[in-house]
Amino acid sequence: MNIKRVTGAYFSPTGNTEKLAKAMAGALGDAAGLPVEYIDFTLPDARSREYVFGREDLLVIGLPVYAGRLPNKILPFVQENLKGDGTLSLPFVCYGNRAFDDGLSELVYEQKNAGFRPAAAAAFATQHAFAATLAHGRPDEADLEEAKSFARELWRIIAGAESANAFATPGVDGNMPPGPYYKPKRMDGEPAVFLKAKPLVDPDKCVNCGTCARVCSMGSIDPADVTNVPGICIKCQACVTRCPQGARYFDHPDFLSHKAMLEKNYKQEKPNSIWTASLK
């Protein structure tokens, strides 16, 4: 195959998906002796553009799983703004130690619909955005090395293939097309409803640095008054995890109960799930 460029693309509000995308794209580039480019579509401006890939490209694309699927507000970008032409891709997802449900199968499905040919796929267990005690510190060095080895093996197979048509679609876990979103639960097992919850600000800690407004994945925080969140909040936790003063937080009762349920029931760390490329 005549691959000439590797691109790593990712939506990564808390940074974990970015780490894995760069680990795999970087390993592919090193193995192939190819240049590597990156598309960070975490912020709204990057999602306003169209990105087109051809048959000499190789795309590594990663997103976190939200409620068992791809983030619904980011899905239109994946469907409409990333376009391939028989382009080989390596789709992967990150999930917070509960389950990736249909998140990976949805990404594979959408990649195929957008003109890509998924050659391999993976789901990585990473630190939960809501509950830092779940898969704490992951991806760690072992996870990143596993990701790099996976990428190097993919390149070995690509180097011996005649064309993208030689690759079989990875048979990942999950429904294709995907099923409904996972419904969060409270500690008592009842549905946890916190769709309208928005992050608050501790006035004793906030120094009005504006970091939260700059990192908001939906551009929903008013930079002139960071206590004001007039736009949509997808609970990505970027403002909470990236605030240098630890001044942002959620206090919605159902959100906190759901977090407690996760911490109680999903303590045991999950392994990464990898589907290595195979030829037809």
Q: In this structure, are residues 54 and 85 in contact, taking their beta carbons and an 8 Å threshold?
A: yes
pLDDT at 275: 98
Q: In this structure, are residues 143 and 23 in contact, taking their beta carbons and an 8 Å threshold?
A: no
- If asked whether residues 109 and 17 sit together in one domain, one would say yes
Q: How many CB atoms lie within 10 A of CB 49?
A: 10
Model confidence pTM above 0.95 = yes
- If asked whether residues 74 and 115 sit together in one domain, one would say yes
- If asked whether residues 129 and 219 sit together in one domain, one would say no
pLDDT at 280: 84
- If asked whether residues 117 and 59 sit together in one domain, one would say yes
Per the domain annotation, does 25 fall within a domain?
A: yes
pLDDT at 164 exceeding the cut of 90: no
- If asked whether residues 37 and 113 sit together in one domain, one would say yes
- If asked whether residues 107 and 44 sit together in one domain, one would say yes
- If asked whether residues 29 and 168 sit together in one domain, one would say yes
Non-local (6+) Cβ contacts of 87 within 8 A are 53, 54, 55, 57, 58, 59, 115, 116, 117, 164
d(CA 127, CA 204): 28
- If asked whether residues 126 and 88 sit together in one domain, one would say yes
Q: How many CB atoms lie within 10 A of CB 114?
A: 18
Question: Dihedral (C-alpha) 232, 233, 239, 241: value to the nearest 10 degrees?
Answer: -160
Q: Please, what is the average pLDDT of the chain?
A: 97
Q: Domain range for residue 88?
A: 5-180+268-275
